[in-house]
Structures are given as C-alpha cells and as structure tokens.
Amino acid sequence: MPIDFSISDDGHFIETMISGELSCPELVEYEIAHTTDERLRSPLLELLEVSPGSICRLDDGELAAIFECRKENARLFRSHRCVLVISPEDVRAPELNRFFADLTLLHSPEVVVIFGDAPTARALMDR
C-alpha cells in the first residue's frame, strides 16, 4: 500500500507518508485504520505528508465517495489535529487542500493546518 503510518509509543502522534499512486479503497482503508487504532491517545496530532502525484489517480467522484464514507462512519473517527503537507508543485494541490479542509467539517473540532513543505511543518510541530 502506498500509505505508511506509524504511531508514537505514547499514542499521541501519527506520522503518515503517502507515496506512489493511491487508489480510493486504499485511502478509505487508511482513514479507518489510522483513526480507530486502539493505541491512539488524546490529544492526538497527525503529520500527513502527501508526495507529489500520489493522489493523481483519484478523480472528483472518488474524492466525493471518500467524503461520504467518512460522513457515514463519523462515529468511528477520533478527533485530532492534522498537519497536512502537500507540495505546491503537485498539480492537484489546491483541490487536495480543499478536500482535506472539507473533511474537517465532518468531525469538528478537528483542525487541519496545511503546509507546502515537511521541514516547516515539523519545525512548527516540534517534531
């Protein structure tokens, strides 16, 4: 799977890297797996880094399907802060930023902060 994530020993931090071409079922599987893991503890912070081009296979209909899946299963998801890194060079960057921002509306008080590069995001997260 082109999504790799790890959970810190204390359960308060998830580090995720999406690289390679991602399919709709893989993103749905990740959304469920990373937010329902029993090792997670509040407050929860996630660093989600999306490599350029890794979401290029997902069309607008698939993004809408992921959004609906998340909406239908809202009770499964653990609220958390997500620091999202999407390269401004990614041709779909504006669209992906809107998609992830829209996901937060489903499960407030989750917060998504968007950065264009991982070093800046890590520095501001003290990671």
pLDDT the model gives residue 60? 76
| Cβ–Cβ under 8 Å, residues 22 and 51 | no
| Cβ–Cβ under 8 Å, residues 30 and 19 | no
**In whole angstroms, what is the distance from residue 97 CA to residue 89 CA?**
13
Question: Which CATH number covers residue 16?
Answer: 3.30.750
Give 22-81 pLDDT, tens digit per residue: 888 888 788 778 778 899 998 888 898 988 888 777 777 887 887 787 777 777 777 778
Task: Mention every residue, 6+ apart, whose C-beta is less than 8 A from residue 104.
Answer: 82, 110, 111, 112
Give 7-32 pLDDT, tens digit per residue: 999 999 999 999 888 888 888 788 77
pLDDT band of 109, cuts 50, 70, 90: low
Domain that holds residue 56: 3-125
Q: Domains in the chain: how many in total?
A: 1
Give the tokens for residue 33: 């797996």
pLDDT band of 6, cuts 50, 70, 90: very high
